[in-house]
Amino acid sequence: RDLAPELRKAVAEAAKSGAQTREIDVAGRKAFVVTDLSSGKPTTIVTVVVSGGRLVLGEGANVGGDEAVALVRAVDFSRVAAVTR
């Protein structure tokens, strides 16, 4: 199951509400970054599509988009993809 189209739609909705959004590549995988600045303190959510239905989520309070992405880049996505259910 490909979750990227649904994530793009959710990110577009967040952008309409004033959040900073972007789609990037993290270790060869699609990632979506949403930063909400409405409270004066940034809150960022990074969603990385590891495989069709498997995601890695990173959330940071008082963390801007670039810093949150840097933290998520430390994840070993190949190990995440290799986990069996």
Helix (H, G, I), strand (E, B) or coil at 77: helix
Per-residue pLDDT at 84: 87
What would the mean pLDDT of 13-21 be, rounded to a whole number? Answer: 95
The DSSP letter of residue 75 is: S
Residues 22-75: tens digit of each pLDDT: 999 999 999 999 999 998 899 999 999 998 789 999 999 999 999 999 999 999
- Taking the C-alpha atoms of residue 58 and residue 83, their distance in angstroms, rounded to an integer, is 18
**Residue 8, H or E segment:** helix 4-16
CA 52 to chain centre: 15
- Taking the C-alpha atoms of residue 33 and residue 53, their distance in angstroms, rounded to an integer, is 18
* Confidence band, pLDDT 50/70/90 cuts, at residue 2: confident
* pTM score, whole prediction: 0.91
